[in-house]
Amino acid sequence: MKKNSVLSFAAVLLVSMLLTTVSWAQNANASKPSPSASASGKVGEANITINYSSPGVKGRTVWGELVPYGKVWRAGANEATTFTVDKDVMVEGENLPAGTYSLYAIPGEAQWTIIFNKVAKQWGTQYDEKQDQLRVTTKPRKAASMSERLAYDVTNNGFVLRWENLEVPVSVKSGNKI
């Protein structure tokens, strides 16, 4: 009988430790200035996942100030944002082979350059242009509503970056949609 109560106590202790660890990890991410986030979805036959850190506006002017126009930006915070696609796709009409890339951007008032860099695992400021797999251009648009936190959405037509009062749609086509 004593052996069973010791085992029961050990099991309860183990479950409590696991729940505490999971709860702490969730709270730690939520309290970060730029918590980790991800967006996933399907475009045609291709599965897309974008992993990023999500900074907040916090009363600042983002475009042209916090994120300067005409300079390479890590498209998130902290580590480089990653873009993973499991099939070859066309991004803004250009071929992007299946794989995982770091995602960078060069914001502009009227046009953005979206960059898929071959070095996926890197700190966001370690960008090397020689490692670019693909660069495409797209046009930003005014968002319907303000987004306090940077967010990505994968849609049937590609993906959209949303932050502050701006949206940046990027067209992606796959499979029978190419």
Bridge partners (DSSP) of residue 112 are 138
Q: Single out the residue of 153, 125, 131 nearest to residue 49, CA to CA.
A: 153
**E strand residue ranges, the chain:** 36-43, 46-53, 81-85, 89-91, 94-96, 99-106, 112-117, 132-138, 141-155, 158-174
3-state helix, strand, coil in the chain (%, to 5): 20, 50, 30
Query: Looking at residue 124, what is its pLDDT?
Result: 74
Contact 117, 101 (CB under 8 A): yes
User: Which tops the pLDDT comparison, 155 or 31?
Assistant: 155
Mean pLDDT of 5-13: 51
Query: Looking at residue 32, what is its pLDDT?
Result: 75
Q: How confident is the model at residue 122 (pLDDT cuts 50, 70, 90)?
A: confident
> What torsion do the CA atoms of 156, 157, 158, 159 make, to the nearest 10 degrees?
-80
Percent of the chain at pLDDT above 90?
Answer: 75
The model's pLDDT over 33-50, given as tens digits with 9 standing for 90+, comes to 899 999 999 999 999 999
d(CA 129, CA 36): 25
Answering whether pTM is above 0.75, one says: yes
> What torsion do the CA atoms of 40, 42, 48, 49 make, to the nearest 10 degrees?
10
Domains of the chain, residue spans: 1-31, 32-177
Query: Looking at residue 23, what is its pLDDT?
Result: 45
> Which residues lie closer than 8 Å to 66 by C-beta, 6 or more apart?
60
Query: Looking at residue 125, what is its pLDDT?
Result: 81
